[in-house]
Structure 1
């Protein structure tokens, strides 16, 4: 595919500074397999998400055309941001939304809370991916395309080597889970936080890594997970400790 350099209208995104754009990707820790707070029955993917469009269906074909169009028309600037987002499956993308010098690592109670949120989000998302078993868009790439055209994954792999885990998008689910929790912790910055979550999720489409329905499923699942965690009695002490810590620092009232 001859990728066009012409910039066409993409979905609007708020220009929030991306910290450390030139930094190396953050190494991924081992994937958790057990919930610390949520009840598996409450996050059963069968009860929360519709199935994705079937391969070969009209809906899947339309989605595939949309991915191809976005790959052809994305700007270098937006693709660079999407690549950075793809490399940071942690809280760092939301730091600039809270404040220019904000650093989650300076707040131990908040960091602990968000680590537990990430744990349960990861387990729930993995269960959903394993249930739906959807192919990534790159599996239907045009002959002659390179893997890098359809993915922000820095590892050059054969499309068929990618597991059947496109639906829901893990990045999108994480983004909206963090968005819901952080917006509750720092309500003064809720709009900037949720805008960043939306931008972060859309990056998966810009990369070519996911269909739009993958991202929308992540939106739904992440919102449900964030809401459940905010109302989880066992997690309440951590939520209260994080709020107190952020108030003492003057981050929120």
Structure 2
């Protein structure tokens, strides 16, 4: 699948998610089993009962001997030449959802460094939204507990330090992708002048999970659905909307000053272009 096809598919998936979002809660109000500590960094905006229901929005992962699983394998094989390249290194950085790295991952696309000094409201929003995006995926994650590609093929990922957790955390859907795509959608609201760059970075953030050998392509596709559905739900939350307005003002001020040192945007651009 070409990059253009991937972009079009991602946009289509997100549109379907926004249209299909029904606001139903995950089955029951009990907190799901959450293996990834990244999704516990800060309390989210939404109560468990207010999260979009992955059990309603998503079907099961691809089964054996299906065209969908064959596509997953083809997409995995297509990324093998990228291992140990600049794109592999970027995928490793994208895998780190801890802060400040998670904010740095989107600073180049934003055109402004996202940090706790220059953009404190946005920085805190990212952490709160991360919990919402991650938790939205665990209904289906826990139901199917899909095995990750690096385990199936007895290979490594781009982050050896995370593999122990990933082995026991369901692959479908991708929580990292839900976060990356959800962040990108919100960032595009905050900084519409950079919307295309931000949405493209959000798409590549998800593709990093396939390149990292941590997720199948169908995991990433489903993660985008949950990220978009969660953003749709956040648009009705008063606290989120107040923070969104404050972040917009904060971003305008930051663009006028541009006092913080940016990450290495040239290296990121080169990695994303395949150079």
State yes or no: 1:64 paired with 2:73: yes
2:108 aligned to which of 96, 99, 117 = 96
Q: Distance in 1 between matches of 2:42 and 2:247?
A: 25
Contact kept? 1:35, 1:123, Cα under 8 Å? no
CA distance in 1 between counterparts of 2:91 and 2:193 reads 26
Distance in 1 between the 2:234 and 2:224 partners? 15
**CA offset digits 1:70-128 (Å, max 9, x no partner):** 224657222222122223452221101112x5233222222222222112112222333
**TM-score normalised to structure 1 length:** 0.75
Local SS of the residue matching 1:235: helix
More helix by share: 2
Aligned equivalent of 1:79 = 88
Q: SS of 2:3's equivalent?
A: coil
Equivalent positions of 1:123-138 (< 5 A) are 123-138=135-150
TM norm structure 2: 0.69
What is the rounded CA distance, in whole Å, between the counterparts of 2:239 and 2:47 in structure 1?
9
Q: Which runs of 4+ in 1 moved over 4 A?
A: 32-35, 72-75, 156-159
CA drift at 1:243: 1.8
Cα separation, 1, equivalents of 2:184 and 2:81: 29
1:11 aligns with 2:23: no
The gaps in structure 2 that reach 5 residues or longer are 8-36, 257-275
Match of 1:105, SS state, is coil
CA contact 2:44–2:131 (8 Å) conserved in 1: yes
Residue matched to 1:196: 201
> Aligned with 1:179: secondary structure?
helix
Q: Which residue of 1 aligns with 2:184?
A: 179
1:47 Cα offset (Å): 1.5
Q: Quick one: distance in 1 between partners of 2:207 and 2:242?
A: 33
2-side partners of 1:51 and 1:30: how far apart? Answer: 23
- Residue 104 of structure 1: SS of its match in structure 2? coil
In structure 1, the gaps of 5 or more residues are 1-8, 15-27
Between the aligned partners of 1:158 and 1:121, the Cα distance in structure 2 is 22
Paired residue for 1:218? Answer: 223
Q: Secondary structure at the match of 2:161?
A: coil
